[in-house]
């Protein structure tokens, strides 16, 4: 990562409350200049993104993914024909998508691209017209999301506004330090089915912490990679198959250790194991209800995530269990 000054905030780089806030601004800027008829989302997506999109008059269309969360480009291309489209592609769990193929499509079809890097650390390697990061998912902040406008056509002046921190933001922050799933479940913000477009600004404390925590990025990456590799070797592959194998991306910065339980019973077994060990093992939060059930595979439904947070060493923690 280059000198932290690249994160000075201007018309190309905005700071907002969370990933949903950044997505809202993305869509607002795009639809002001581009008459898109549909937005294409991967079938594996959190349901809390849907209320943001429903603020706009645009059709939501889902595209297929393989069990390993790779885009089915043949089926995606069928949905791009003859329609102005916004294509949102996710860099799942910190691993970059196949942006070469995505941008090949962009050269053929009339699309605007959004790179959802909510699971990623901040980097300079953006590939889409817009890229957004959920800072608070990786860094010790109460709130925060970075939106990068990579297509100058959509640049606009940015006014850095803040808000007072909310209880749910403090609760979200504490997830980094509370390993017990039962406790964490009680403090999670439950109000994600509603999106308030007036409440999109970072809290006043996190605003001043951002540049400081970004300076520790390499240190965080090393700890997260160590934790990721520990899970890779510790967990039985017959029960929990890793989603990503043979990762060659030097910029890989894991959000969690993601794997696929070979059955619902194994999924429930390892969630119970996490509760017993005071380690938060989580399934995919919730799929949007508007997804056709046949688009989701058994693998998608049995995704499990093991923590790699830089606040803990998994090896040291399990050594005493």
State pLDDT tens for residues 155-199. 887 778 889 888 888 876 776 655 434 433 433 445 557 899 999
Pick the CATH number of 4-152+165-214 from 3.40.1390.10, 3.30.230.10, 1.10.10.10, 3.40.640.10: 3.40.640.10
At residue 4 the predicted structure's pLDDT band, cuts being 50, 70 and 90, is very low
Residue 98 has pLDDT above 50, yes or no: yes
Burial class (CB in 10 A: 0-12, 13-18, 19+), 321: exposed
Confidence at residue 192, expressed as pLDDT on a 0 to 100 scale: 59
Coil, helix or strand at residue 253: coil
Residue 238 has pLDDT above 80, yes or no: yes
The CATH 3.90.1150.10 portion of the chain extends over: 217-319
Residues 135-141: what's their mean pLDDT? 90
Say if residues 122 and 146 touch (Cβ distance below 8 Å): yes
Say how far apart CA 37 and CA 179 lie, in whole Å: 43
Say how far apart CA 248 and CA 32 lie, in whole Å: 39
Pick the CATH number of 217-319 from 3.90.1150.10, 1.10.3720.10, 3.40.50.10490, 3.30.420.40: 3.90.1150.10
């Amino acid at each position: 990562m280059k000198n932290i000054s690249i994160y000075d905030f201007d018309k190309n780089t905005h700071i907002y409350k969370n990933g949903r806030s950044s997505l809202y601004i993305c869509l607002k800027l795009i639809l002001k200049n581009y008459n898109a008829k549909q937005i294409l989302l991967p079938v594996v997506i959190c349901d809390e993104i849907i209320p943001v999109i429903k603020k706009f008059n645009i059709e939501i269309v889902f595209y297929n993914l393989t069990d390993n969360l790779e885009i089915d480009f043949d089926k995606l291309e069928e949905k791009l024909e003859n329609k102005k489209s916004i294509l949102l592609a996710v860099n799942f769990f910190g691993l970059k998508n196949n942006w070469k193929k995505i941008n090949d499509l962009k050269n053929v079809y009339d699309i605007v691209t959004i790179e959802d890097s909510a699971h990623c650390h901040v980097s300079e390697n953006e590939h889409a017209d817009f890229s957004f990061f959920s800072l608070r998912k990786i860094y010790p902040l109460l709130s925060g999301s970075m939106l990068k406008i990579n297509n100058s056509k959509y640049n606009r002046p940015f006014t850095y506004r803040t808000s007072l921190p909310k209880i749910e933001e403090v609760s979200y922050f504490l997830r980094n330090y509370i390993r017990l799933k039962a406790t964490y479940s009680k403090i999670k913000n439950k109000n994600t089915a509603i999106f308030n477009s007036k409440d999109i600004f970072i809290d006043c404390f996190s605003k001043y912490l951002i540049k400081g925590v970004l300076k520790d990025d390499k240190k965080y990456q090393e700890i997260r990679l160590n934790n990721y590799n520990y899970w890779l070797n510790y967990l039985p592959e017959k029960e929990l198959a890793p989603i990503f194998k043979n990762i060659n991306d030097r910029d890989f910065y894991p959000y969690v250790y993601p794997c696929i339980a070979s059955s619902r019973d194994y999924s429930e077994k390892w969630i119970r194991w996490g509760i017993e060990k005071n380690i938060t093992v989580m399934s995919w939060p919730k799929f949007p209800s508007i997804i056709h059930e046949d688009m989701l595979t058994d693998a998608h439904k049995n995704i499990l995530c093991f923590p790699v947070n830089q606040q803990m060493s998994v090896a040291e923690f399990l050594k005493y269990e």
